[in-house]
Amino acid sequence: MTEKIQGYLYLSLAMIMVGSTVIASKLIASGLPPFAATALRFAIAFPLFFALMRLTRTPWPRLERRDWLILTLQAGAGSVGYTTLLIAGLRFSSATDAGVVIGTLPVVSAGIAILLLGERPDRSTLIAIGLAATGVLTIVLRPDDGAPHSSLGIALVFGAVICEGLFILINKRIRTPIAPLALSTIMAGMGVAVAIVPALVEAPSMQDVTMQSLAAVLYYALVPTVAGFILWYAGSARVSGTEASVFTALAPVSAVLLAFVLLGEPISINQLAGIGCILVAVLSLAMPHFWSKTAGQTQI
């Protein structure tokens, strides 16, 4: 097996794990409030990341005060905001709908870069944003498929996607290079710090905690958070950044299929159309890079 094929395999497994977070969050939402679940998730993941740092002798970064502030904002948006909004949204929405909405992440990130960073989009980016919006609208507009579609739940999940997009872009503002394992360890530690106070506020409402929800939090911490990190960076080290970005399209596919297999949720024509639009949107962002790369190799 070649290095590139190994990379594709690792990235595929990592994104399947990301899709499974929708299923885990659905189970968590039935028995734990969102901030308590988020604090517990990172409390489990942090010592594991720290142990991996010691095992691999990864050094702690020396950061300026500005970088620490950016990391705090990043943890609030991506680590805590994403998880809590996803869990809250899944109290109202189906895992299938949430999986489709999460597939908009690459295109949402491009939109945030345009609106907040002043980047000038090309035609393919604008088309991709339009396709992704169409994909979400196919499930938001309550089609006559006999299935419930919560606008509030979808809005909360889309808020989680925006938080994750901000997480990705905020990271670009850090001046000091940080090793991926060190960054994940810092994010997990800050995730606990940011979520702990609202988690304590939620404590009086934690009367219906179930073993199923606790097991889902444990899974979320160990598999998508820790193992997913290892697989993603092992894969991305073997392929180009553009190639790696294409595999993010597997996350919504994984979420929808797992919701069907594990939760017994039906898949409607509108949901299939929505995920199709989003997959085409993501591929339309990546294909121009592949074409230019192929053309360059042909000229050589």
DSSP string for 15-66: HHHHHHHHHHHHHHHTTS-HHHHHHHHHHHHHHHHHHHHHHHTPPPP---HH
Residue 242 pLDDT level (bands cut at 50, 70, 90): low
Whether the per-residue pLDDT at 298 is higher than 50: the answer is no
Domain that holds residue 129: 3-299
Task: Give me the pLDDT at residue 36, please.
Answer: 93
The residue among 192, 164, 137 whose CA lies nearest residue 22 is: 164
Task: Give me the pLDDT at residue 3, please.
Answer: 80
Whether the per-residue pLDDT at 220 is higher than 90: the answer is yes
Could you give the number of structural domains in the chain?
Answer: 1
Task: Please write the tens of the pLDDT for every residue from 103-124.
Answer: 777 778 777 777 776 767 677 7
Question: Average pLDDT, stretch 283-289?
Answer: 63
* % of the chain with per-residue pLDDT over 90: 26
Whether the per-residue pLDDT at 90 is higher than 60: the answer is yes
Task: Give me the pLDDT at residue 37, please.
Answer: 93
Q: In this predicted structure, which of 49-63, 105-119, 133-147, 209-223 has the lowest mean pLDDT?
A: 133-147
